[in-house]
Amino acid sequence: MKTLSITELQALKNTATLIHVLPEEHFECEHIPGAVNACVYEMVFLTKVAELVPDKTSPVIVYGAGGDSLDATTAAEKITKAGYTNVTVFPGGIAEWRQHNLPLEGTHSEPGTATPHGHYNLDTETSVVRWTGRNLFNHHQGTLKLAAGNIEVKNGVLQSARFTLDMNSIACEDLVDTAYNAMLIRHLRDDDFFAVDRFPTAEFICNRADPLPSCTPGTPNYTLLGTITLRGVTQPLSFPAVIAAADADHLTGQAQFELDRTQFGSHYGSGKLFAFLGKHVVNDHVHLHIKLHATRS
């Protein structure tokens, strides 16, 4: 892959199409004079490049953030694979250009980073828990609604959280036979599993949230520590989670973890509690994937 130094870029940038491959908001903030924008993170990246550079033999120079970010090299690989024959990368990117105090175009107003603060109430319409239960030969999956919840944040740092699950809302998504589907739901609601008639809700209380200092965007940034109450039994629970701000008024969160149902009195088909189960064994662990949305009150 061909690369350019900053001196070479200064000499050649007016003889080629110079493409800033970061998102539009960053391009509007600042970009190298004469550059055009096609965001490599978007699915329509190559379509945009084709609009900007219809002739695949024309010279193209791409740049991005610089440093260790793979944006520019990824863009060059995509463009070359699409048939462009004269593609060059400026690996120093906007960071090196700025370090040399060279002129930049744009608003020079960095895209805002939300700093959430205060009390946030769970949006029960858009928040959901997805579950997967397994046995030796099969698995089933479905959803569970959240009935209520809240999150406390202080100056961008998660302090505590509380969520209530509506156990009556349990649903299976993979069984298309309605009779079999209904039979499974009855089975999950009865005493073999979650005893929903006696315990219609479950609750997770997070009383401590430890930031994870080595996290990167899209990976867990907190370990949540607290308790979960299911079937009237309370057990300690901790798991990694991603908590992020869409803006100052909206939070979103994701977490995935395994829950041992037998710790809460759900014994049906457990190989550690029954002998000679054979094909009737059911995995002790249930996989949960939680997706939360909350709005500041």
How sure is the predictor about 110, in pLDDT bands with cuts at 50, 70 and 90? low
CB within 8 A of 59, min separation 6: which ones?
12, 15, 16, 17, 86, 88
pTM of the predicted protein model: 0.82
Structure tokens at 162: 């509380």
Res 111 pLDDT > 80: no
State mean pLDDT over 280-290: 96
Q: What whole-number distance in Å separates Cα of residue 156 and Cα of residue 245?
A: 9
Task: Decide if 204 contacts 237 (C-beta within 8 A).
Answer: yes
Q: Which neighbouring-strand residues pair with 287? A: 132, 258
Nearest to 78 by CA among 48, 56, 46: 46
Cα distance between residue 103 and residue 217, in whole Å: 30
For the chain, domain boundaries: 2-99, 118-296
- Run of H or E including 53: none
For residue 119, the number of C-alpha atoms closer than 13 Å in the C-beta half-sphere is: 5
**Residue ranges with strand state E in the chain:** 2-3, 17-20, 36-37, 60-63, 87-89, 118-122, 128-134, 139-154, 157-172, 201-211, 222-230, 233-247, 250-260, 285-296
Residues 73 and 1: their CA atoms lie apart, in Å, by: 8
CA atoms of 13 and 105, how far apart (whole Å):
15
pLDDT the model gives residue 182: 97
Superfamily of domain 118-296: Lipid/polyisoprenoid-binding, YceI-like (2.40.128.110)
Q: Mean pLDDT, to the nearest integer, of 145-164?
A: 94
CA distance 1 to 78: 12
For β-strands 118-122 and 285-296, DSSP reports them as antiparallel
How distant is the alpha carbon of residue 246 from its chain centre? Answer: 12
The single-letter code of the amino acid at 60 is: V
CB atoms within 10 A of CB 131: 20
Give the model confidence (pLDDT) of 245-257 as tens digits: 888 899 999 999 9
Domain 2-99: which CATH number of 3.40.250.10, 3.20.20.60, 3.10.20.740, 3.40.50.300 = 3.40.250.10
CA–CA dist 17, 86 (Å, integer): 11
pLDDT, tens digit, 9 for 90 and up, residues 201-225: 999 999 999 999 989 988 999 999 9
Residue 103 has pLDDT above 90, yes or no: yes
Answer yes or no: same fold for 2-99 and 118-296: no
